[in-house]
Chain A
Amino acid sequence: YAKAKQGPEGFYTDETLTPYDDVASYNNFYEFGTGKGDPAKNAHALTTDPWSITIEGEVEKPGTYPLEDILSKVDLEERIYRLRCVEAWSMVVPWIGFSLADLIKQMQPTSKAKYIAFETLYRPKEMKGQRSRTSTIDYPYVEGLRMDEAMHPLTLMSVGLYGKVLPNQNGAPIRLVVPWKYGFKSIKSIVKIKFLEKEPPTTWNLLQASEYGFYANVNPDVDHPRWSQKSERRLPSGLFSPNRILTEPFNGYGEQVASLYTGMDLRKYY
């Protein structure tokens, strides 16, 4: 992968990186189990090659594109982002990827495209969590963004971390990273992208709308009904050196993204 290019502010942070082993072993990827260690244990079963992404909806160039074709038309770069999970823990991760905007421009959305929807692979044979009888999630996992959020330069499609190919448990072979939103927005192992006129349904919102909104911007002033969002545990956080820090609005990316939400009541659109 190409060495990190210098980019606009927000692309890098000099905060302490969360070690690779922690990033690759502590995951929420319910397709492989709900325990934090389950994805690292079970995700080896996933076949990530061949892989293709289907593009649909309000777009000039719909079709199914092999991942290699998509990657051959973009420049990969390294970006160091904070990742804030809705469960009140956070990491600092050096991602490898490209701006989602570069892919969107290639696909030429029509003027009707106001939203973009993503879908994770549905393959119960390889994804243990999708076979769970007691899970209330209706797979495949779906997520979405407003078009201006999707086009924002910070919005990343990632294929690697720490200079390596993305581990399966982190969403191989290609995932979204939206650093100012809670982690569940950053959908993993993407197989479909749809351009839409209306706001698409999203998995956690369908499951519990009072707890997980469509926007899901990191916001210390709006608590999750079952826990506070005012602070977070920056990982690694040891027993003898707990690393609790205050949570920043928009996860510290307010300067770059707050203007997207001018005039919106963020307590209502959480």
Chain B
Amino acid sequence: MALKKTIVFIFCLIPAVALIYFAVSGQLGPDAGKELVLETGEWGLRFLLLTLAITPIRTLTKSPAILRYRRMIGLYTWFYASLHLFAVLTYLLGWSWPIFVEEFAERPYMALGIIAWVLMVPLGITSNNWAQRKLKRSWKTLHQLTYLIGVLACAHFIWLVRSDFGEALLYSAILAALLAFRVVIKFQRTAALKPS
């Protein structure tokens, strides 16, 4: 098991390593900062969708083994989202507090992105076994924030579209499908509990 986990861990790290390699070898193009912002943001979203896909995959394949990787993939989502935020602060806002305040106040998509990241903080902090035991049932409720984070992240992406909705639409459709799956399962369970 430890070996499999290590393999998944390394796989998840590949985009970050590739980005560092492209950055150091100057392959991110003339607007490297902007490119890093776009790439880290997109990887954050991909990992978020992957996190949300674990439960449906488990249900459909009826194999609980995949659940072992959910925490790691969730933490990787936070990792890529943090890199994204760091890149935005460094390359787009130049670590200027007045610019940050102005962007947060005046650009709704920016506010959505920052709120989504802030919501990930408690999830990341409580992702260990100890917190899971301590929080008991409320742990699950807390971590359902992931659904909201998904919606915020997609809205953040759609809001940035200039003329072509293709990519944003694809990610949003995947999110919608993953969330719809949970609604359907919930309805089925409720129906099964009712006396016939």
Measuring CB to CB, which residues of chain A are less than 8 angstroms from any residue of chain B?
A: 18-19, 22, 25-26, 30, 34, 36-37, 89, 91, 132-137, 207-208, 223, 225-228, 231, 233, 235-239, 242, 244
Contact = CB atoms under 8 A, between A and B. Distances in A.
A134 B102 contact: no
26 contacts: A22-B29, A25-B29, A25-B30, A26-B29, A26-B30, A30-B163, A34-B163, A89-B34, A91-B30, A133-B166, A135-B163, A135-B164, A135-B166, A137-B163, A207-B163, A223-B106, A225-B107, A227-B92, A228-B103, A235-B31, A236-B32, A237-B32, A239-B28, A239-B33, A239-B36, A239-B91
B26 interface: yes
B109 interface: yes
Most chain-A CB neighbours within 10 Å: which of B29, B99, B103? B29
A227 B102 CA distance: 10
Interface residues of B, number: 29
Contacts of A239: 23, 28, 32-33, 36, 91
Given A226-B107, A228-B99, A237-B31, A132 B160 contact: no
Given A36-B29, A134-B169, A239-B36, A226 B109 contact: yes
Contacts of A208: 162
B144 interface: no
Contacts of B122: none
Interface of B: 23, 26, 28-36, 90-92, 94, 99, 102-103, 106-107, 109, 159-160, 162-166, 169
Contact of A242 (B90, B160, B169): B90
A133 B170 CA distance: 13
Most chain-B CB neighbours within 10 Å: which of A18, A37, A228? A228
Contacts of A225: 107
B34 A134 contact: no
A123 to B, nearest CB: 19
A228 B163 CA distance: 19
Contact of B32 (A207, A228, A238): A238
Query: Lowest 4 A-B CB distances belong to which pairs?
Result: A134-B166, A22-B30, A236-B30, A235-B30
B94 A34 contact: no
Contacts of B166: 132-135
